[in-house]
Structures are given as C-alpha cells and as structure tokens.
C-alpha cells in the first residue's frame, strides 16, 4: 500500500482538540493509557493463541518495553501483542467505535472549562499521547501476518493521519511519541519509572525499561543494553487467598494506604455472578486526620482487569464507609469509565452493595467474635470510626438493621461499649422502651436531672454525646421492636414500672400545687410554654423538657452553634414539688419581688443543668446575688 492520507472521524477530531487543549494538568496519564493498550494487545494475543499457538511465533513471553531517545526527543512504548493490520490501524486509530465514548461525547457541552473537567476524569485512550506529543508514529504488524504486511501510521493529531506499508520483522506494536517542545521532563528514566509504578504496578505482564548507568562525560545517567522490570507485575488480589500470607496482605495495605500501622481487618474475595469482580478491602486501625471531610473521596482503588483506573472511586463505597481502603478489580467495566458513568452503572451498583455487605460482615465478625482480642479490635474500631458508621443509619436504609447492631454507646450502666442488644438484655420486667438522653458531653449527660427517676428505678439510659447522634435518631426509631425514647421529651410515662401508689401520690401533689403552678406559668410566660409538676426528678428542683414531636434542646443548640436557625419554640419547665426550693415558692404570693426572681432562677438553673446557655447570664447572676444578700 502506498502512503495514504486519511481524515479522522469528526468525533475523533473533537476528542483530539479537547485532549490537546484541556489536559495539561494531568499529562502523565498518557503513559497509563498506552501501557494499558499494550497490555490489552498482549491479552488479545494470548486469547487468540489459545486456538492458534503459532501466533506466538518465536516470542512466547509477552511484555511491554518503554524507552526514550533524549536526542530525538521520542518515547517508545513497545509491545509484542496482537498488533494491527492496515485496515485495523485505520479503523481503530481513526474512528471511535466504543459506545461509552459516544455517550461521553454527547455529554460535552462545548463549554471549555466544564468539558476540560469532564475529560480530565476520563480515560482518553490512545489519543492521550497527543497531550505530550506533536506527532505520534505507530509501527505495527499483526501476529500471524507476513513481515511485509507491517504498517506505519503517523499523525500530528489534528485533522488527518497517514498510513503506509512497511516491513517489520517483529510482531506487535511500537507507539512512538515525538514530544512537544517543553515536555522534556518525560525524557527521564526516573520520571517514566515513577509514572509506570504509579499506574501500572499491578498489570499482570512485565513492563521493562533499559537499566541506566552513570556517564561521567555527560554528567547524567544513560540507558544501557540491559533491561529491567519496572513494575511489580503481580497483582496481589488476583492471586488465590490460600497463597497469600498475612504479611503480604499487610505489606500491600501499607503500600496502598501510606499507613504505617497494620490494618485492623481485611477481606479478600472473588465475586462471580451477574457482576464479576475481585475485592480486597481493609479497615485501618487509625482514623485519618481528614475523616470528617465528607467530600473526601474514598480510599478504594478501582482497577479494570488489573489496569488501574482511579484511586478515589467514591461510587464504589457509601460515604459512611469512607475509611475503608483497598482495591476493587472489575471484569465488566470499560477501561475508559468516567466518574459520571460510574455513578450510573448497574455493575458499579452491584459492586457497591456487595462491598458494603463485606465490610459490614468484617465488622460483625470482630464485634461478635468469641475471641476477646478480636472484640477489643472492634472496641478500637468503634473509638476511631464509630461516629462515621452512625451516618450509615440515615444513609443506608437497606442495611440499617445490621448497622444498628454494630452501634456502641455509653450508658448509665457502663461508660462505653454498650450495644442495643446488651441494653435489651438488661431491660426491666415491664420496660417497653429503650431510654436515651442526648447531651454535649458525657458528664453533662450523666448528671442530667432528667435521669434521676431512671436511676432511682434502676433503669438503664443510653448517653449519647456524638454530634451525629441527634441526626441518627431522626432515622432510627426502634431496635428489635422496642421504641427508642428520649428521657428529655414529653412527660415521663414509666407505665407499668410505676406503681399505683406512686401515681396517686403524684396526682395529689399536682392538685395541691396547682395554684403555685399557675403563678409560675404567669411569671415565666415569656420563657416557658408550660410549667408542670413531674415525678422524673428526685434531687433536682426543676428540669427543661420539650414536647414529644419537638426538636430536643440539645439539637437546637447544635444547630445554633453551626450557625443554622433553630425553631424558636419555647420549652416546658417541669418542677419537683417535693424539693425544698419549690416548696418555698409554694408559700409565697405572686408579685412579691422574690417569687418572680426565684421562678426565673429555677428556670435558668434547669437550663444550665442540661448544658444549655443562658440568654442573659448577667441578669441571672444579679438575681442570685440579690437573693444571697436578702438571706
């Protein structure tokens, strides 16, 4: 075939334009793409040779070689894979057949900035060579074809390309990049090696580069005749579980996570079925400093058939498992999958569901282990990541029940490690609800006046102090059929736990106290929605509660702290008619200076006791001082 000049398909021109105009921020990906094509070509040869072993000719060892020529300013990526015929070179390198790419092109909006962003996240394949090259030459011969049937394909990456027949003894393909002015940084063995090990460490075939030696005259390292392997060429996760030692798993974890500490647990599985993939997932021992950044992308690397695709594939893990590190290697996804495509892919959804279940299973195994050491690991895990796992209660309804079992709390029974199941086991005869209180700190929760009656009755109360707890509780209403009940909401109804005697007495007290209550209501009408007597208090004179459906005052405080508007509803003041201070009010008449003062002090103290802030602390201090002076 004589030299022919052919025109690129319109879409290719568009891609080329985008590649050369938008991708300078992440140039090095060209090497990932070209090495992955070389690796694909070898895979294809291996496959075709199953039926036709003669295709191997006299070179059965498949490999990729990468080398450069500093004077000519070229980088060559050479493989001894399947190669291309002239027709194949024209169609594979001149048109885009892949539907994924079409879809991708359709998403482009013609808005330079947005499109650059999109294409930057996208595998751009062969044409990415033009990011750094102003000319690409491909010399190739298909396996099984005669040496005279070689092809040279050349293009400057603009409108067209040339093809001509050449003689080529070796099977396979050379892709030669003629570097643009200013791209000399890639004419460095060190640079090329580091990019290869970053992206291509785990492709299964060897990538070779010339060994270098120091040249005194040139004052630089120069390539030698000897070749060395620059990737590991053995993806750990593709090996069988039984062949991998614990030490190897740990070393691999350190390599991918940059974490010095050993992981708490890991899981390694090959999943077959509708979606085929391998997962190797780790739970770290320590939370990273940026755990709370929910925008931070996940620590799971996505590979497609052992080719690295991206290392922060958040679509593979729910946000609440963002601490998980590891690798997922899919057999189904296209190599050039974009983040957008990942979000929509059904395969990815299946991977995500499967991986979520695996991680939960791994945590359950620790939490429920017969081995105390493993259970300690879970306690450690909970200390580091528990608050993040709680986000799952609201985000992952499908797994809510499993997640609820993994939750651990402080309670009036133990300072940590209490599960719902533990709580339920300790529930009193006749107790129907799981009681909890939310507060800013553990000591505020423990000392809350609202707990007094529960203490007296020996009822356990969960003490919730994580910021995420209130939010979590807006998604979780029960465990094992037992409703969750805040002790700071509504009236206490201990139901069957309160005996008739007590109830009658409480009613009698309330009746007798009614006139004073009315006076209190009047005195506090601007601050309290209602004032009522309660049996929930034993040692304290008063406490603040909210109505069942209202936002807890703890949550209202959290919202205020984060600068959000909290509903301006007034709380309810509950008073302990048996308390000396309250009894003293009973004897005073309203309007008497100190009745109103005392009423406000009572209210302010109730607020303070539950960790709230006074709107006017100075007024409170003045009132107390007046009282002290009068006494």
Query: Which residues contact ligand ADP (rule: CB under 6 A)?
Result: 33, 37-38, 40-41, 79, 81-84, 92-93, 125-126, 173, 335-336
CA-to-CA separations, 164 to 86, 89, 238, 241, in angstroms, rounded: 8, 10, 41, 49
Task: Please measure the distance between the N-terminal and C-terminal CA atoms of the chain and give it in whole angstroms.
Answer: 113
Contact 261, 284 (CB under 8 A): yes
Cβ-based nearer residue to ligand ADP, 105 or 421? 105
Residue 41 interacts with which of Mg ion, ligand ADP, none, CB < 5 to 8 Å by class: ligand ADP
CA 590 to CA 381: how far, in whole Å?
A: 57
Residue 93 interacts with which of ligand ADP, Mg ion, none, CB < 5 to 8 Å by class: ligand ADP
Contact 50, 161 (CB under 8 A): no
Cβ-based nearer residue to Mg ion, 125 or 284? 125
CA 193 to CA 189: how far, in whole Å?
A: 6
Residue 163 interacts with which of Mg ion, ligand ADP, none, CB < 5 to 8 Å by class: none
With 0-12 CB in 10 A as exposed, 13-18 as middle and 19+ as buried, what is 379?
middle
CA-to-CA separations, 521 to 128, 532, 535, in angstroms, rounded: 76, 9, 19
Q: How far is the CB of 261 from Mg ion (least distance, A)?
A: 37
Tokens for 298?
Answer: 């996940």
Cβ-based nearer residue to ligand ADP, 125 or 144? 125
Contact 356, 317 (CB under 8 A): yes
Tokens for 580?
Answer: 């000396």
Contact 83, 171 (CB under 8 A): yes
Q: How far is the CB of 265 from ligand ADP (least distance, A)?
A: 36
Phi, psi of 49 (to 5 degrees): -75, -10
Q: How far is the CB of 125 from Mg ion (least distance, A)?
A: 4
Q: How far is the CB of 96 from ligand ADP (least distance, A)?
A: 8
- Cα torsion for 290, 296, 302, 308, to the nearest 10°? -80
Cβ-based nearer residue to Mg ion, 37 or 535? 37
Cβ-based nearer residue to ligand ADP, 169 or 629? 169
Q: What is the DSSP letter of 180?
A: P
Cβ-based nearer residue to ligand ADP, 336 or 485? 336
Cβ-based nearer residue to ligand ADP, 17 or 426? 17
Cβ-based nearer residue to ligand ADP, 66 or 406? 66
Q: What is the DSSP letter of 564?
A: P
The residue with its CB nearest to ligand ADP is 125
Q: How far is the CB of 59 from ligand ADP (least distance, A)?
A: 15
Q: How far is the CB of 40 from Mg ion (least distance, A)?
A: 6
Q: How far is the CB of 551 from ligand ADP (least distance, A)?
A: 53
Q: Rg of the chain over CA atoms, in angstroms?
A: 35
Cβ-based nearer residue to ligand ADP, 65 or 489? 65
Residue 231 interacts with which of Mg ion, ligand ADP, none, CB < 5 to 8 Å by class: none
Of the ranges 37-45, 215-223, 266-274, 275-283, which one interacts with Mg ion (CB under 5 A)?
Answer: 37-45
Q: In the chain, how long is the greatest CA-to-CA distance?
A: 115
Of the ranges 123-131, 163-171, 420-428, 459-467, which one interacts with Mg ion (CB under 5 A)?
Answer: 123-131
Q: How far is the CB of 27 from Mg ion (least distance, A)?
A: 17
Residue 38 interacts with which of Mg ion, ligand ADP, none, CB < 5 to 8 Å by class: ligand ADP
Residue 571 interacts with which of Mg ion, ligand ADP, none, CB < 5 to 8 Å by class: none
With 0-12 CB in 10 A as exposed, 13-18 as middle and 19+ as buried, what is 47?
exposed
Candidate list 81, 83, 93, 125; residue touching Mg ion; CB under 5 A: 125
Q: How far is the CB of 132 from Mg ion (least distance, A)?
A: 16
Q: How far is the CB of 33 from ligand ADP (least distance, A)?
A: 6
Cβ-based nearer residue to ligand ADP, 84 or 556? 84
Neighbours of 218 (CB within 10 A): 9
Strand partners, 583: none
Of the ranges 125-133, 359-367, 509-517, 527-535, which one interacts with Mg ion (CB under 5 A)?
Answer: 125-133
Kindly state whether residue 449 participates in binding Mg ion, applying the rule CB under 5 A.
no
DSSP letter string over 261-329?
SPPSEEEEEEE-SSS-EEEEEEE-SS--TTTT-TTSPPEEEEEETTEEEES--GGGS-GGGTT-EEEEE
CA-to-CA separations, 425 to 46, 95, 428, 512, in angstroms, rounded: 61, 68, 9, 40
Q: How far is the CB of 209 from ligand ADP (least distance, A)?
A: 17
Helix (H, G, I), strand (E, B) or coil at 150: strand
Which residue matches tokens 């702290």? 561
Residue 516 interacts with which of Mg ion, ligand ADP, none, CB < 5 to 8 Å by class: none
Of the ranges 99-107, 124-132, 368-376, 393-401, which one interacts with Mg ion (CB under 5 A)?
Answer: 124-132
Kindly state whether residue 37 participates in binding Mg ion, applying the rule CB under 5 A.
yes
Residue 82 interacts with which of Mg ion, ligand ADP, none, CB < 5 to 8 Å by class: ligand ADP
Residues near Mg ion (CB under 5 A) are 37, 125
């Amino acid at each position: 075939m004589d030299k022919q000049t052919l025109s690129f398909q319109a879409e290719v021109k568009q891609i080329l334009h985008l590649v050369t105009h938008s991708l300078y921020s992440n140039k090095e990906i060209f090497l990932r793409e070209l090495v992955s094509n070389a690796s694909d070509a070898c895979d294809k040869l291996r496959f075709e040779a199953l039926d036709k072993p003669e295709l191997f000719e006299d070179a059965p060892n498949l490999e990729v070689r990468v080398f450069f020529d500093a004077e000519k300013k070229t980088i060559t990526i050479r493989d001894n894979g399947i190669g291309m015929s002239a027709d194949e070179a024209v169609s594979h390198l001149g048109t885009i057949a892949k539907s994924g790419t079409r879809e991708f092109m359709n998403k482009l909006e013609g808005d330079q900035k947005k499109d650059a962003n999109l294409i930057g996240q996208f595998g751009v394949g062969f044409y990415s060579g033009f990011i750094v090259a102003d000319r690409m030459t491909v010399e190739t011969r298909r396996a099984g074809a005669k040496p005279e049937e070689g092809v040279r394909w050349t293009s400057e990456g603009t409108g067209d390309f040339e093809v001509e027949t050449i003689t080529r003894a070796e099977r396979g393909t050379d892709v030669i990049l003629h570097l643009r002015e200013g791209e000399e940084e890639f004419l460095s063995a060190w640079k090329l090696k580091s990019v290869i090990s970053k992206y291509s460490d785990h492709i299964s075939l060897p990538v070779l580069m010339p060994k270098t030696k120091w040249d005194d005259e040139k004052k630089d390292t120069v390539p030698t005749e000897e070749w060395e392997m620059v990737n590991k060429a053995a993806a750990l996760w593709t090996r069988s579980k039984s062949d991998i030692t614990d030490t190897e798993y740990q070393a691999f974890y350190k390599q991918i996570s940059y974490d010095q500490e050993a992981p708490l647990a890991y899981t390694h599985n090959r999943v077959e079925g509708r979606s085929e993939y391998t997962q190797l997932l780790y739970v770290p021992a320590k939370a990273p400093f940026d755990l709370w950044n929910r925008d931070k992308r996940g620590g799971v690397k996505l590979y497609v058939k052992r080719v690295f695709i991206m290392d922060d594939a958040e679509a593979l893990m729910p946000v609440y498992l963002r601490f998980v590190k590891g690798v997922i290697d899919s057999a189904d996804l296209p190599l050039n999958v974009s983040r957008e495509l990942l979000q929509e892919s059904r395969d990815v959804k299946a991977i995500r569901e499967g991986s979520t279940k695996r991680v939960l299973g791994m945590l359950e195994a620790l939490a429920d282990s017969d081995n105390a050491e493993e259970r300690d690991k879970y306690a450690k895990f909970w200390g580091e990541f528990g608050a993040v796992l709680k986000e799952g209660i609201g985000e992952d309804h499908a797994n809510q029940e499993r997640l609820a079992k993994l939750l651990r709390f402080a309670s009036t029974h133990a300072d940590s490690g209490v599960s719902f199941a533990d709580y339920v086991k300790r529930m009193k005869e006749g107790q129907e609800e799981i009681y909890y209180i939310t507060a800013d700190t553990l000591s505020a929760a423990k000392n809350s006046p609202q707990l007094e009656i529960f203490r007296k009755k020996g009822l356990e109360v969960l003490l919730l102090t994580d910021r995420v707890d209130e939010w979590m509780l807006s998604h979780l209403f029960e465990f094992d059929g037992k409703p969750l009940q805040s002790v700071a909401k509504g009236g206490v109804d201990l139901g069957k736990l309160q005996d008739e005697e007590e109830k009658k007495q409480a009613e009698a007290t309330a009746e007798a106290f009614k006139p004073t209550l009315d006076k209190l209501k009047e005195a506090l009408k601007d601050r309290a929605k209602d004032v009522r007597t309660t049996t929930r208090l034993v040692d304290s004179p008063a406490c603040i509660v909210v109505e069942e459906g209202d936002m807890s005052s703890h949550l209202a405080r959290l919202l205020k702290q984060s600068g959000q508007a909290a509903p301006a509803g007034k709380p309810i003041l509950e008073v302990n008619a048996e308390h000396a201070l309250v009894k003293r009010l009973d004897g005073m008449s309203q309007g008497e200076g100190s009745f109103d003062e005392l009423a406000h002090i009572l209210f302010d103290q109730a607020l303070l006791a539950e960790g709230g802030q006074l709107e006017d602390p100075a007024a409170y201090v003045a009132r107390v001082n007046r009282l002290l002076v009068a006494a």
